Each structure stands twice: as structure tokens, then as C-alpha cells.
Amino acid sequence: MSKANRNIVIIGNGISGVTCARHIRKKDESAQITIISGETDHFFSRTALMYIYMGHMKYEHTKPYEDWFWNKNRINLKRAWVEKIDFEVKALIFSNKESMTYDVLVLATGSKPNKFGWPGQDLKGVQGMYSYQDLELMESNTKDISKAVIVGGGLIGIEMAEMLNSRKIPVTFLVREKNFWDNILPLEESKMINRHILEHHIDLRLETELGEIIGDASGKVKAITTKTGEKIDCQFVGLTVGVSPNIEFLRTKPLESSENNKTIQTNRGIIVDRFFKTNIPDVYAIGDCAEFQETPAADRKNIEQVWYTGRMHGETLAFNLTSDKPVPYQPGVWFNSAKFLDIEYQTYGFVPPVWTEEYESLYWEDDGGKIAIRFLYGKSDMKIKGVNAFGWRLRHDYFDKAISEGWMFEKVLTHLNKASFNPEFFKSHHKAVLDQYNKQKGKSLKVHKMSFIQKLIGSRA
């Protein structure tokens, strides 16, 4: 299917689009590859934007490839915003009215922050946090301010709180749920993060919803009210109530001459099949903006908005565009990670916030309340299903294998020292976890021991 000299155009220079471009180039010497972005000239790590604000890095440091990389790999970069797409003649029209044709089009346009129609949500000083432009806006919006409010208790919310905290700007953090991120995390884990947020002097308000945002005469935010009527003065409001596919430019401007098969099919995102094909031939969608007709796996959602899935979408589509035997997207064992202020979080496999009778869980928390691990395993088959770890780095390859091959939970538990990925000399907790399990179950399992020599030379055998 790969004809020579195809003109492949990718809209979006995030992890999905860039991964796709790189992998196409690896297997197809002749294709013309163009990446279009209005956001920045070069690919940068979106997840690192917070570190620019915090002074850990400069923008340059967030670019995973040096600027010469693109030229060397003959990947054309075009800085422009696409205003509309004429699928009939296979052409893009940019905001400056220039146009560009394509043979194959990959839509990797990412997300944009949600706004739910709150009064005052468009005031100056109110914003989300997703793009490089959002970072620049936040830089100017938070200059010389004395108080900020963040609305929405998810990953971007806590990152924004950490950003503001690094600049010593007091933050009130409104979370609608009973506990932080409790639609993803089980109760104990949520509560642990609640405590950690408070420890950082962030004013966490659980079960608190935004009422309205109040502006001053010049159109700048000066306060918010909660649904219970409390008024909080502030000069900045961060709206971090999730993101949705960034596909407005596809939806709002249907072409006059549009036949049915020349209008791209969308729902919340761009509808794709397991091969990332849209309803229009030679047009694909990957990453945050794609919505699978059917979920790619039982424990997956229709829209996957994670760095890792974006990368895998890009890899898979690139394979399909350069191979005679396209494969459906088939994600492996779920994994994800995040960092809540100082506490690192990793998860592998299946650990929902609540689980049914078929499963059992072991939860262990360190006395200091900042290190925790939870295992979920089958009640009857005793096979490990998933793990959540906080302040405890775990080996991805170990758990990928353990979960996909259905290892016995107790085997994992007794070999936990091998599964740990913590730096050398860190205190190990695998005995404490096993002790707790033994106590709870009246068992006497023993830790798989390593000899002194093995420890001395760092053998993992």
C-alpha cells in the first residue's frame, strides 16, 4: 500500500503526530512528510510545560530532539494554524488563506481545556493549562498576583497548584469529588493525596463546586463564589476540569459543497476504527483527538488522552501506513504514571476506584503516610490483576509480564524486592508489605532472599 513519494501531512506536532512521522520515516525513505503546528516550531514535551513555569527547565530543554533532527530526517515542519480542510480536493486551508495539498492526512490535533459555561469563565485571568500558549498566558496572568483558585481535581489541577506553589502564590483548590481524583484512585490512595496537598499548604476544598467567577470593571477576575455561596477573592482562576478533543475547526466550518462522505464523522472526537481510519479515505486520526468507535480493549475508554497511548497510536498508524498488512491497535497491559507534588505514582494493570466481589485487594501504607502500594488480585484464581504504587517505583517489565501472564499474587508478593525500581540504598518495604499480608491472612509466606554476594554486586538473578 505504500506508494513512492506519497505526500503525508500530519496536523499536530505533539507526541502522537511526531511519533507517527518518525516511524514512517524509518520505514519509508521516499515519503514526503510534513508536520503542521500553530503552537510551536518544534516538538516539545507537553508534560514538561509545568517545569518551565517552575524554573526547572527552559523551553529549549523540553524539546526531545535537537532542531537539526527534522532536517536530517527530512521531516518538514510548517508553523501554521489549519482553518479548514477540503477533503474533496485533499487540501488544507490555513488561517492566512494559504493552502497545501496532501495524499494522506493524519489528524493529531490533541485536546483543549474544558469550560462548562460558568458565568465569568472568559474573564481575563481565567484559563486552562494545555498548550504552550496557555503557559505564556499563565505567566502573564499570574504576574504579581496574591491569590489563585483552581477548579477541578485532576492531574492538571494538581500540577497547576504545584506550579503556583513554586511561585509562592497561595492556592485554593476546589475539588467537586469527595476526595482528590477519586474517580480513578481507590479511597485510601485518594485520602493520602488529600493529606499531601494540605501538607504543601494548598487550601484543598473537597466537595466544593464553582458557582460563578466575578470580574472587576476592567474585565479581570477578582473573586469566585462556590455553589454554597462562599466568596473567595482571587486574581487568577485555573480551570482544570478535563480536556476534550480539539476538533472545533473540523466541526464548525462545513464546506459548502459538502457531500456526505466528504464530511468527517465526529462525536466528542474524530471517529476512527481500530486502524485509526476515519470515514474519509486516506484520512486518519490519532492521539487525544481520536474517538474509537469501539473501545480498543475492555479496560480502555473510547478516547485515550494519555502521553503513552498517544505514542502508541503514532507507532501503530506509522506501521500501518508503511506496511502491506495493517494491524488493528491493540494496547497491552495498562500502565500510567503521575507525580502528585512529591509523591510519584505508577499503576500497572487493572485497579479501579471500586471493585466487585470477584477481586480482593491488599493495601499497605508506610507509617509516614507517603509510601503506599495496592494490589488487586482475583479472589478465586489468586492471579494478580493490577497494582498502584505511591512513592515506590516499580519495574514496568516485571508487572507487564506478571499481569499479562497471570502470575500468582503470592509469588509477586514474595518477590517484591525484585520488582522494585527504587534507587539504590533506599529503604525497602517489601518485608513490611508481606508481614501485613501474612497477618491479615494468617499465613507465613517468606521473602525470596538474596545472598550477600548477590546484593554486593547488584545481581537480580
Rule CB under 8 A: which residues touch another protein? 15, 23, 45, 47-48, 51, 54-58, 61-64, 66, 166, 196, 199-200, 307-308, 311-312, 315-316, 319, 327-333, 335, 337-339, 341-342, 344, 346, 393-397, 400, 421-427, 457-461
Query: Are the C-beta atoms of 148 and 238 separated by less than 8 Å?
Result: yes
Residue that has been written with the C-alpha cell 532542531 in this structure = 67
- DSSP symbols for 88-120: TTTEEEETTS-EEE-SEEEE---EEE-----TT
Query: Are the C-beta atoms of 79 and 41 separated by less than 8 Å?
Result: yes
Is the Cβ of residue 209 or residue 315 nearer to another protein in the bound state?
A: 315
Q: Report, in Å, the least distance between residue 65 CB and another protein.
A: 8
Is the Cβ of residue 422 or residue 436 nearer to another protein in the bound state?
A: 422
**Alpha-carbon distance values, 450 to 39, 185, 456 (Å):** 52, 34, 10
Spatial separation of the C-alpha atoms in residues 461 and 453, rounded to whole Å: 12
Edge-to-edge strand list for the sheet holding 283-285: 75-79, 32-37, 7-11, 104-107, 283-285
Q: Report, in Å, the least distance between residue 96 CB and another protein.
A: 31
Q: Report, in Å, the least distance between residue 94 CB and another protein.
A: 28
Q: Report, in Å, the least distance between residue 22 CB and another protein.
A: 9
Chain centroid, CA 96 distance in Å: 32
Spatial separation of the C-alpha atoms in residues 416 and 438, rounded to whole Å: 14
Is the Cβ of residue 103 or residue 315 nearer to another protein in the bound state?
A: 315
Query: Are the C-beta atoms of 14 and 130 separated by less than 8 Å?
Result: no
Is the Cβ of residue 98 or residue 139 nearer to another protein in the bound state?
A: 139
DSSP helix/strand/coil, 232: strand
Query: Are the C-beta atoms of 221 and 215 separated by less than 8 Å?
Result: yes
Spatial separation of the C-alpha atoms in residues 459 and 461, rounded to whole Å: 6
Is the Cβ of residue 82 or residue 318 nearer to another protein in the bound state?
A: 318
Is the Cβ of residue 43 or residue 118 nearer to another protein in the bound state?
A: 43
Is the Cβ of residue 219 or residue 332 nearer to another protein in the bound state?
A: 332
Q: Report, in Å, the least distance between residue 457 CB and another protein.
A: 6
- Which residues make Cβ contacts (< 8 Å) with residue 406, sequence separation at least 6? 381, 383, 384
Q: Report, in Å, the least distance between residue 234 CB and another protein.
A: 22
Q: Report, in Å, the least distance between residue 443 CB and another protein.
A: 29
Q: What are residue 127's DSSP bridge partners?
A: 238
Nearest to 348 by CA among 412, 290, 293, 411: 412
Is the Cβ of residue 222 or residue 395 nearer to another protein in the bound state?
A: 395
Spatial separation of the C-alpha atoms in residues 173 and 52, rounded to whole Å: 21
Is the Cβ of residue 267 or residue 293 nearer to another protein in the bound state?
A: 293
Q: Which residues of 96-125 are buried (b: 16+ CB within 10 A; e: fewer)?
A: eeeebebebbbbbbbbbbeeeebebbebbb
- The DSSP symbol for 123 reads S
Q: Report, in Å, the least distance between residue 459 CB and another protein.
A: 7
Is the Cβ of residue 110 or residue 120 nearer to another protein in the bound state?
A: 110
Q: Report, in Å, the least distance between residue 82 CB and another protein.
A: 24
- DSSP symbols for 366-410: -TTSS-EEEEEEETTT-BEEEEEEES--B-HHHHHHHHHTT-BHH
Q: Report, in Å, the least distance between residue 461 CB and another protein.
A: 7
